[in-house]
A and B are shown apart, each in its own frame.
Chain A
Amino acid sequence: MILQARNLGWGVRRLPIVQGVDLAVREGETLGLVGPNGSGKSTLLRLLAGILKPTSGEVAVEGRPLSGLPRRLAAQKIAYLEQQADTGEAITVRDAVELGRTPWLTPLQPWSDEDDRIVAGALADADLRGFESRFWATLSGGEKQRVHLARALAQRPRILLLDEPTNHLDVRHQLSMLDLVAALPVTSIIALHDLNQALTCDRVGVMAGGRLVALGSPEEVLSVERIAEVFGVRASIVVDPADGTRIFRLDHLR
């Protein structure tokens, strides 16, 4: 198990936001996290990234407790892409992506050609070639999202935690972002809103009221009954006659 959470919980002023989450993530898999707004997906990701200190339970990375790991070493293993991180600084796309190398550099271990290669690769993977010298303020929401992805990729992590990475992206870039993440030789946990995108993950976890209420293969976890219970919508499954892929059609409960 590359990443493991045991009885993980976090709350503010006795209001539990995440509680009792047990989760074991296998090396190389892509785990989708779904759940309604406020169900604790983002908080769970921040706990797994080690950015929030859990109020109960613990996270282990490669069998070692995350809380005992210096931030720099943790960041060499785990990259976290937060929602809507913004800046007022006049930084360029290249500057922002180069930040991803931070955990690998020290004042005594300066920038190398290898870092240049990694950054160029990350820019290419996020379809940002030609954007290198564009200023942050001139980018659209989707372009900013792709810069954040490139920064996370430049971190060369073993675990990638993505909080709604497809937000703001156009349809083509949504698909290529998910394909890219699935093709990467890393373990990924992705918070998603689109249930059809969740269907393409290796496994899916469902969050509701701060708890992980289901975890398993997309077909067994995303049942029509559970979708009705957790999201309060009626789902019907449509099969694409061309290749037999299942698609959700969603409606109000009546």
Chain B
Amino acid sequence: MTIATAGRPSVARLWWRWPVGLAAMAATVFAGTCIGETPIPLSIVVQTLANKVLGAAYPLDPIDMGIIWNYRLPRALVAASCGAGLALSGLVLQSLLRNALADPYLLGISAGASTGAVTVTIAGIGGGAVSMSLGAFAGALTAFLLVALLARAAGGGVSARGTGQIILAGIAGSQLFNALTSFIITKSANAEQARGIMFWLLGNLSGVRWPDVTLAVPIALTGLIACVWCARALDAFAFGAESAASLGIPVRRVQIVLIGLTALVTAVMVSIVGSIGFVGLVIPHAARFVVGVRHGRLVPATALTGAAFLIAADVLSRTMIPGQVLPIGVITALVGAPAFALILLRGRRRP
């Protein structure tokens, strides 16, 4: 058994990774809280957190406290949830569709969510009874179904391997839904609204406050728990859906639940911060590169990397140009597009 123990440590011995992962996550959120346009000393950040969380009573400038507690911390928490959620969505899509390029943004799910959100907020469909997130969810599901149907009709099929059909269908879907979004904005929004929406569409965390945290964190955690729970099922899809079925996976149920969750996570994140591209594409590949392809390790690694990546991107977006906030989608695309190219090139060299 020496080979087995050397090659693959048993699960029981890997439990230490969870506390370490949590600590790493807390450290990244903390870093995101410390860094910003206004330099605030570390001690004040710590004292603010102590005041708010532990009920300490350090005398502090209320403006500093406000920046840290009401502005930076919720922003870091939402960025972490978004990064983790989008990265996991990409991972699930890549595994279930067996396509290295699958990602909620490329498959048009984000675009569909934007359209759904805009339909509710600007065009006023639902008469206030439907929340923006719910509209985004409906849009995301519609977009994915359309893209999947188109890919299937074009001969690709959702589970077919090595075909670009689903990606091509995703491009068509993205274009269609982006056009619909623009159409709705132009038709129904006034100039002020239009400017705000356009900025939101490119991804923007500046409006994030505590209520957003209470939506984003539970949704991201739900996604993470579902993925951890289904890690072996995701592994079993390595040789395709038929092989997964012969390994005892209820294929249809797993596909519906996980893809539905992917749409939900993407929709909620889009409705809070706008559509941020490439996180779902790049982060799972980066995580695979480090921890390998088994989902037991890959799922937590992807969530953690995604969270850290988006916090870092948010910090960059706030500090790169002094006095200006870049849309975070610009940063993720600047990193993501070259990474996309790398994945394409690597795929070509593979035998």
Residues of chain A whose beta carbon lies under 8 Å from any beta carbon of chain B: 46, 49-51, 70-76, 78-80, 82, 85-91, 94-96, 98-100, 102-103, 105, 107, 110-113, 116-117, 119-120, 132-133, 137, 155
Question: Is B236 interfacial (CB-CB < 8 Å)?
Answer: yes
Q: Are A82 and B243 in contact (CB under 8 A)?
A: yes
CB <8 Å contact, B3 and A75: no
Question: Which one, A88, A102, A137, contacts B249 given CB within 8 A?
Answer: A102
Return the contact of B351 from the options A49, A103, A137 (Cβ within 8 A).
Answer: A137
Q: Is the CB of B10 within 8 A of A111?
A: yes
Residue of B nearest to A111 (CB): B11
* Contact across chains for A75 and B351 when beta carbons are under 8 A apart: no
Q: Specify which chain A residues have a CB less than 8 angstroms from the CB of B162 in the assembled complex.
A: 88
How many Å lie between the Cα of A158 and that of B100 in the bound state? 36
**B247 and A90 within 8 A (CB):** no
Contacts of B242 in A (CB 8 A): 46, 51, 82, 85
B351 in contact with A107 (CB, 8 Å): no
Chain B residues contacting A88 (CB-CB under 8 Å) are 98, 100, 161-162, 347, 350
Q: How far is the CA of A120 from the CA of B292 in the complex (A)?
A: 21
Contact A102 B248 (CB under 8 A): yes
* A51, B292: Cα distance in complex, Å: 29
Q: Tell me which residues across on chain B come within 8 A of A111, comparing CB atoms.
A: 10-11
B338 interface residue (CB < 8 Å to A): no
B interface residue numbers (CB < 8 A to A): 1, 3-5, 7-8, 10-12, 98, 100, 161-162, 228-229, 231-233, 235-236, 238-240, 242-243, 245-251, 288, 292-294, 347, 350-351
Contacts of B7 in A (CB 8 A): 94, 132-133
* Beta-carbon contact of A51 and B248 below 8 Å: no
The residue from A51, A80, A102, A117 contacting B236, defined by CB atoms under 8 A apart:
A102
A43 smallest CB distance to B (angstroms) = 12
| Shortest Cβ distance from A76 into B: residue | B248
- Measured in the bound complex, the distance between the Cα atoms of B250 and A73 in whole Å is 11
Give the CA-CA distance A123 to B238 in the complex, in Å: 19
Instruction: Choose from B1, B100, B350 the contact partner of A120 (Cβ within 8 Å).
Output: B1
A105/B232 in contact, CB under 8 A = yes
A88 vs B100: C-alpha distance when bound (angstroms): 9
Q: Which residues of A contact B238 (CB under 8 A)?
A: 87, 89, 91, 95-96, 99
CB-CB nearest in chain A for B11: A110
Indicate which residue in B4, B239, B245 contacts A86 across the interface (CB closer than 8 Å): B239
Cα–Cα, bound, A44→B223 (Å): 38
Contact of A116 among B4, B100, B248, B292 (CB under 8 A): B4
Across the interface, name the chain A residue whose C-beta is closest to B5. Answer: A116
Q: When A and B form their complex, which 10 residue pairs have the shortest distance between CB atoms, in order from nearest?
A: A75-B248, A103-B248, A72-B248, A80-B246, A116-B4, A85-B239, A110-B11, A102-B247, A71-B250, A87-B238
Residue on B with the closest CB to A95? Answer: B294
Contacts of B3 in A (CB 8 A): 120, 132
| Distance between A66 CB and nearest chain B CB, rounded to angstroms | 12
CB neighbours (8 Å) of B228 from chain A are 107
A-B contact pairs, 22 of them (CB 8 A): A72-B248, A72-B249, A82-B246, A86-B239, A87-B240, A88-B350, A89-B238, A90-B292, A94-B7, A94-B8, A95-B235, A95-B293, A98-B8, A102-B235, A102-B247, A107-B228, A110-B12, A116-B1, A116-B10, A117-B1, A120-B3, A155-B247
Given contacts A82-B242, A120-B4, contact A71 B232 (CB under 8 A): no
Tell me how far the C-beta of B252 lies from the nearest C-beta in chain A, rounded to whole angstroms: 10
Q: Is the CB of B11 within 8 A of A71?
A: no
Beyond A107-B229, A113-B10, whether A79 also contacts B246 by CB under 8 A is: yes
Docked complex Cα distance between A100 and B238 (Å): 12
Which residues of chain B are within 8 angstroms of A96 by Cβ–Cβ distance? 238-239
Chain A residues with CB below 8 A from B10, complex form: 111-113, 116
**A203–B23 Cα gap in the complex (Å)?**
62
Give the docked Cα–Cα distance between A91 and B235 (Å). 10
